[in-house]
Structure 1
Amino acid sequence: MTREAFAFTRSFAPTGPDVLVVDRHYLLCASSGALRLEAEGQRWLLPPARAALLRAGCPVTVSIPQPARTASVLFDVDFVPPPPRDLTVLDLDPLARALLAECSGWPESDDPLPPYPRTMFAALAAVAWRLAERPSPVVAPAGRSAEVRAALALTEERLGEQVRLEDVARAVGLVPRSLARRFEGEVGMTWRAVLRRMRVLRAVELLAADDAPVTTVAHRVGYGSLSAFNAAFRELTGSTPSDYRATFGR
């Protein structure tokens, strides 16, 4: 008999993208660095002090652009209910963090869980499942068609430049008006809104990578104005870049 739940920590070098499929429900928490996750037509960023909740048997594409450390908890499918979606990134509250730390002492084993850790794992699942009802905003569209996915990749490559829709459209073989319609039809956002979101998500990765000044991060993601960068960052995350970095706990 395998344990109803178990926990482990692991460090990763940059790698990916790789497809991850597990036979248990998976709570993946970033301790340092940032991971990129893709499922159901969306791309999530997993920065420190956040967690991803993955449903058993559902493929998720994982990329690790910088060294990262994670804490993971795997739940038997008969021990907890299925998560609400294939993949959800959620913000951990203090209770979830305390329960995660408490569960970290019980690794994988053929022995059943004693009553106390079984209760702790069940409580962690209950809290995480509740938090998953309010997903983190650090998500961007992945696109369906080859043209939109290529446009997204090209836009991401040029985040630090003065990238234009006309140049991206030309590179993927479409006129700007057609590409603009594709974006609104496939991802429900304008290309300009996607660019703005991608820049904020890249900024979150940079904030997680080191202690570079916020002004430097703003310039690296294409903002010449710190006030414009702060406004875009607050619009998506609800906080300033400095306050968001402070939640990483390092």
Structure 2
Amino acid sequence: MTPVAYSFVRTFPREPARELCVDRHYLLCASAGALRLEAGGQSWLLPPARAALIEAGRAIRVSIPQPVTTASVLFDPAITPSPPAALTVFDLSPLARALLAECSEIKDPSQGYGVTLFTTLAAVTWRLAERPSPVVVPAGSSPELRRALLLTEERLGEQVRFEQIAELVGLAPRSLARRFADETRMTWRDVLRRMRVLRAIEELAAGDTPITRIAFAVGYTSLSAFNAAFRRLTGRTPTEYRSSFRP
């Protein structure tokens, strides 16, 4: 009997971006650390308590900005339905996290209990994937915009100015603003806010650094402004978000 799915846990060192493509539907979760995923011109951060569902045969880019331990499940596409998108990132519910932990203990996934467990995990995570995370930033398509995004990300802790980024890219501010509007449907300021929140999530997942220090490190000059921006995008405070990483 063909197993419905396989589960495995692995630890990876820090790694640059590389392409990932597998022949099964891939449920990828970080149990410690964080990953960055890119597909379809968008980029996500995958800290603990969040999962990515990747459709079989779809290539995505994965980078590891810090050492990470992953818990993953490969589902047989002949037995499970196609995911709602090529790549979907979403928050794990307590039930999904408990099922994932139990699946990692299964020795024979082709037997009755294993089949039931993996089938239930698929049903739960496919349902969660219908509500993707809003914490996503554009990756850009043109070389100029991708460079502008990279330069912005490198300067998150500074009081970075749009005119400075445009000059470094070699475009007039008006031309670069049009690139952001055309390629991302967002303004540079909107992208900057999202980048700062994503970097903060990365720091929250990395350890117990005080939230005030994280706020200043990602470019905010007041804790209240940071908390407001964080809640606006994630629906939770930084403290609540960090608590979600813990079992």
After TM superposition, the score normalised by the length of structure 1 is 0.96
2:156 to 136, 156, 159: 159
Give 1:86's aligned residue. 86
Q: Give the Cα–Cα distance (whole angstroms) in 1 for the partners of residues 18 and 122 of structure 2.
A: 26
The amino acid that maps onto 2:21 is: V
CA deviations over 1:187-228 (Å, ceiling 9, x no partner): 011000000100000000011111010010011101111111
Cα RMSD for the two superposed structures: 1.2
Q: 4+ residue runs of structure 1 moved beyond 3 angstroms?
A: none
Does 2:71 align with 1:71? Answer: yes
Q: Give the Cα–Cα distance (whole angstroms) in 1 for the partners of residues 215 and 136 of structure 2.
A: 19
Unaligned runs of 5+ in 1: none
Secondary structure at the aligned position of 2:245 is classed as: coil
1:189 to 168, 186, 190: 186
Q: Give the Cα–Cα distance (whole angstroms) in 2 for the partners of residues 222 and 165 of structure 1.
A: 14
Identity in percent? 67
1:200 to 197, 221, 224: 197
The amino acid that maps onto 1:24 is: R
Does 2:145 align with 1:148? Answer: yes
The amino acid that maps onto 1:203 is: A
Contact 2:4–2:119 (Cα < 8 Å) also in 1: no
Per the TM alignment, residue 106 of structure 1 is displaced from its structure 2 partner at its CA by 2.7
Q: Give the Cα–Cα distance (whole angstroms) in 2 for the partners of residues 99 and 123 of structure 1.
A: 8
Please list, as runs of the form range in 1=range in 2, the aligned pairs for 1:1-250 lying within 5 A after superposition. 2-106=2-106, 113-249=110-246
Per the TM alignment, residue 49 of structure 1 is displaced from its structure 2 partner at its CA by 1.1
Per the TM alignment, residue 125 of structure 1 is displaced from its structure 2 partner at its CA by 0.6
Aligned length: 247
After TM superposition, the score normalised by the length of structure 2 is 0.97
Per the TM alignment, residue 45 of structure 1 is displaced from its structure 2 partner at its CA by 0.6
Unaligned runs of 5+ in 2: none
Q: Give the Cα–Cα distance (whole angstroms) in 1 for the partners of residues 68 and 134 of structure 2.
A: 21
